[in-house]
Amino acid sequence: MSVKAKKKFDISNHTAVLSSLIAILGGLIIAFLVLVLTNPSKGVPAFTTLITGGFQMGGMKNLGTLFYFATPILCTGVAMCVAFQAGIFNIGGPGQYSVGALAAILTSLYFSKDLPAPLTWVVPLLVSILAGAVWALIPGILKAYFNVNVVIGTIMFNYIEMYYMMHWINDYCYDAMKGQTRAIPAPCKLPQWFMPALTQNKSADIGIIIAIIVAVLCWVLMEKTELGYELKACGKNADASKYAGIKSKRNIMISILLSGALCGLGGGLTHLSVSGTYITMKEALAAEGFNGIAVCCLANNSPLAAIFGALFLAFLTVGGNYMQIFGFQREIVSVITSVIIYFAAFSLFLKQMLEKALNRQKKEVNKVTGEELK
């Protein structure tokens, strides 16, 4: 009897997953309420379209779209995981993402298009990584050496990026006809390999594969290496790790630079994609940067789980694109995202409550079975 019970799936060991699921459920319920309350007759079909990811409408072709949306938020999501685990709240995602995107565009326009084959797209990607890291550098220095709150530092850099982006685009790569950045040359786009066949989408590329590989590498870094251990120790208790001889300043710099680099990579991958993405002349922060926070919250700070988090949010985004048919806006996806982040904020509390409830249940079960045995 007892052996059997051990083998059985014990839910109380998976409260982290459970609380993420509760967060998702909460988000979906709120979205359902908002949709139904604003338009009772169209709310229900709109909601079903949303949660089926529009696959019933667009068919398998949407798998490519899904990967396309998942790529940037997976990169920024992993970036947030790395930073949060090290105790750095990097909100600079939008800035680092956009700077990475612009760097990739400029490199491909002015430099790498005449290089030998694989370098045409590898070089812009590397430059985008570098650019993202550079954009995180100053907030990092300010945090490590001047004790400036990293949240404020990175937010300020988001706004500096937002204003300067217009200036840079206007000066170097503006397509006045379309009001956006110039299209990048064809050889600089990411290779496609087997992706079009797999997803039945002509413009699918290997972006998602690169992003997944990076996520796995980051997981290895955080879980299996000494550096990852040190970073996490700093995040758990900065003072204690200082006394243990871990250089906290160096670790702050490493984690924020890594985080910025990953955001930059996200920008690069998206803007080198085959489907073609442009930066428009609009004073706005890139949503991909903020959505990374949601991915990270869903994944409970684990780069590996971020893969699923990113795919899930991308799934909703694909569904969100069909909202206009029902007279709704795709912003409903952001509403869901925000509720998920909101729930994630007290996931610790939620976890404790779940554990308490499950333990109580277990005790009762034990009591009952104990009585039976008597």
Partner 1 sequence: MEMFYFIARYFMYFFIPLLVVSVSGMFSERSGVIHMALDSVMVWSCMWGVLCLQWLDGVVAGQMRLIIALLFAGITGVLLTLLLAVAAINLNADQTIVGMAMNTFAPAFCVFFARVLQDGSEHLSIRNDFLIEKIPFLGDIPILGEMFFCRTYITNFIGIAIFAISAIVLSKTRFGLRMCACGENPQAAESLGVNVQKYRYAALIIAGFIGGVGGLMYILPVATHYSQTVGGYGYLAMSVLIFGQWRSIPLLGAAAFFAFCKTIANAYSGIPFLNNLGLPAAFYKSLPFIITLIALAVTSKHDRAPKASGQPYDKSMR
Q: Closest distance between partner 1 and the C-beta of residue 344, in Å?
A: 6
Output the furthest CA–CA distance in the chain (Å, rounded).
Answer: 85
Q: Applying CB under 8 A, which part among 57-65, 117-125, 261-269, 332-340 lies near partner 1? A: 332-340
Please select the residue that binds partner 1; options are 104, 136, 293, 295, rule is CB under 8 A.
293
Q: How far is CA 50 from CA 9, 41, 45, 311, in A?
A: 31, 15, 9, 14
Please select the residue that binds partner 1; options are 12, 56, 149, 359, rule is CB under 8 A.
149
Q: Give yes or no for residue 33 binding partner 1 (CB under 8 A).
A: no
Total residues interacting with partner 1, rule: CB under 8 A: 46
Binding mask 37-76 for partner 1 (x = CB under 8 A): -xx-------------------------------------
Measured between alpha carbons, how far is 230 from 124 in angstroms, rounded to an integer? 31
Scan residues 271-290 and list those touching partner 1 (CB under 8 A): 290
Task: Provide DSSP, 213-245.
Answer: HHHHHHHHHHHHSHHHHHHHHHHH-HHHHHHTT
Scan residues 209-268 and list those touching partner 1 (CB under 8 A): none
Q: Closest distance between partner 1 and the C-beta of residue 260, in Å?
A: 16
Q: How far is CA 84 from CA 45, 53, 236, 259, 299, in A?
A: 38, 29, 10, 9, 12
The length of the chain in residues reads 374
Q: Quick one: 67 or 168, whose CB is closer to partner 1?
A: 168
Q: Give yes or no for residue 374 binding partner 1 (CB under 8 A).
A: no
Q: Quick one: 345 or 357, whose CB is closer to partner 1?
A: 345
Q: Give yes or no for residue 164 binding partner 1 (CB under 8 A).
A: yes
Structure tokens at 274: 């085959």
Q: Give yes or no for residue 312 binding partner 1 (CB under 8 A).
A: no
Q: Give yes or no for residue 135 binding partner 1 (CB under 8 A).
A: no
Can you give the C-alpha Rg of the chain in angstroms?
Answer: 23
Q: First CA to last CA across the chain, in angstroms?
A: 15
Q: Quick one: 127 or 297, whose CB is closer to partner 1?
A: 297
Q: Quick one: 170 or 225, whose CB is closer to partner 1?
A: 170
* Cα angle: 332, vertex 214, 69; to 5 degrees: 25
The answer to whether the CB of 67 falls within 8 A of the CB of 204 is yes
Q: How far is CA 54 from CA 39, 295, 314, 322, 323, in A?
A: 20, 20, 11, 7, 9
**Binding site residues, partner 1, CB under 8 A:** 34, 38-39, 89, 91, 138, 142, 146-149, 151-153, 155-157, 159-160, 163-164, 166-167, 290, 293-294, 297, 327-329, 331-335, 337-342, 344-346, 348-349
